[in-house]
Homo-oligomer: A and B are copies of this chain.
Amino acid sequence: MSYLYLFRDDYSEGAHPRVLEALSRTNLQQEFAYGSDSFSLEAEQLIRGKINKLTAHVHFVSNGTQANLVSFASLLKPYESMIAVDSGHPNVHECGAIEATGHKINVVSGVEGRLTPEAIEETVNMHSDVHMVKPRVAYISQATELGTIYNKKQLQELSQVCKRLGLYFYIDGARIGNAIMSKEGNVDLSTIADLCDIFYIGGTKNGALFGEAIVIVNANLQENFRYHLKQRGALLAKTRALSVQFLTLFKNDLYFENAKHANVMAQELALGIAECGYSFLSATSTNQIFPILPNVVIDALQKKYAFYVWTKSVSAPNNSAIRLCTSWATPESAVQNFLNDLKQLS
């Protein structure tokens, strides 16, 4: 790789070194398979404690698309649908995984990437007869695809409208650590578990080699979930290799440390970019930022750094928004190098 640093995503490295250590340390211990191992039981207990829900079920899978598709295949009857915003991950970036399990996504407009209670209610009201699917679950991701987060009040309102309308509330937590550790954030894991029926805690983007933990809070949704896992190819023989990672991430709060570091690196980048006089597509407080830069500057930066060009600016055709993404692994030196180079070019 000829780049000085990749700011493309938060999964350009392997795992946090302590995660790999734990895999090595437990490696030769014989265990039962398919989630009946001692590590999985221990990790489930640990997560139950963290969210203060002693009857929650926890299942470990290898990636987020899988967590989403298995969950919705489990939650929905054939004629039931999920509601998601236009930029929602399952709507755009999962190659039709939800539809491949037979279910429609009712797409609504997001507000800075967020689903609103009004959009949920309007969607439910519009679907009034047997010719239309029946919305049954509201999907959000915390943080959103645009790097924004839901605050406590927003989550409560979503939770309430779902309850009132008889919908389940699902939270995709691929970047839930970043949302929780955001300086704007005021929700912890336990509050999230209080407000939704089912969510997942993302490992892949926050220090795990890979792995996500699906947490089923609502007891009505727990039965026979493992059949769905098996049927969709999501049940690993060595589930231990996922649960050992979550044990490590949640013992001593490494998970939150990782997320905080990623956020701090992104915000340091944002501050430096703002100081150069540039504005941003949206205000974010997590590990993704979307500065708007002159195209010539972007071209020059791309010789040294990898990142996505997000959107062309309509009002200023010589400028574009880019996405810079940091992770638990981003060294401060990479941030400083980027900012120095930007200053040179500005």
Contacts and interface: CB of A to CB of B under 8 A. Distances in A.
Given A93-B132, A102-B102, A204-B238, A79 B13 contact: no
A237 B13 CA distance: 10
A96 B70 contact: no
Given A70-B233, A210-B236, A30 B17 contact: no
A145 to B, nearest CB: 12
Interface residues of A, number: 79
Contact of A210 (B70, B95, B232, B238): B238
A25 to B, nearest CB: 10
B8 A26 contact: no
B104 A102 contact: no
A24 B24 contact: yes
Copies per assembly: 4
Interface stretch (A187-195, A222-230, A278-286): A222-230
A93 B234 contact: no
Interface stretch (A59-67, A175-183, A294-302): A59-67
Contact of A94 (B68, B131, B210, B224): B131
Among A12, A29, A31, find the residue whose CB has the most chain B CB atoms closer than 10 A: A12
A231 interface: yes
B11 A78 contact: no
Nearest to A27: B14
A62 B239 CA distance: 11
Contacts of A306: 32
B133 A96 contact: yes
A217 interface: no
B9 A26 contact: no
A32 B8 contact: yes
Nearest to A244: B14
Interface in A193-231: 204-205, 209-210, 224, 226-231
Given A30-B1, A65-B233, A96-B103, A210 B241 contact: yes
Contacts of A68: 233
13 contacts: A1-B29, A6-B30, A12-B31, A12-B32, A13-B28, A13-B29, A62-B236, A65-B235, A77-B224, A78-B231, A81-B96, A96-B104, A97-B233
What 10 A-B pairs come out closest when comparing CB atoms?
A66-B233, A14-B27, A79-B227, A95-B230, A96-B104, A95-B231, A96-B133, A11-B237, A99-B104, A12-B30
Interface of A: 1, 3, 5-6, 8-9, 11-15, 17, 20, 23-24, 26-34, 38, 62-63, 65-66, 68-70, 73-74, 77-79, 81, 92-97, 99-105, 107, 130-134, 204-205, 209-210, 224, 226-238, 240-241, 306, 329
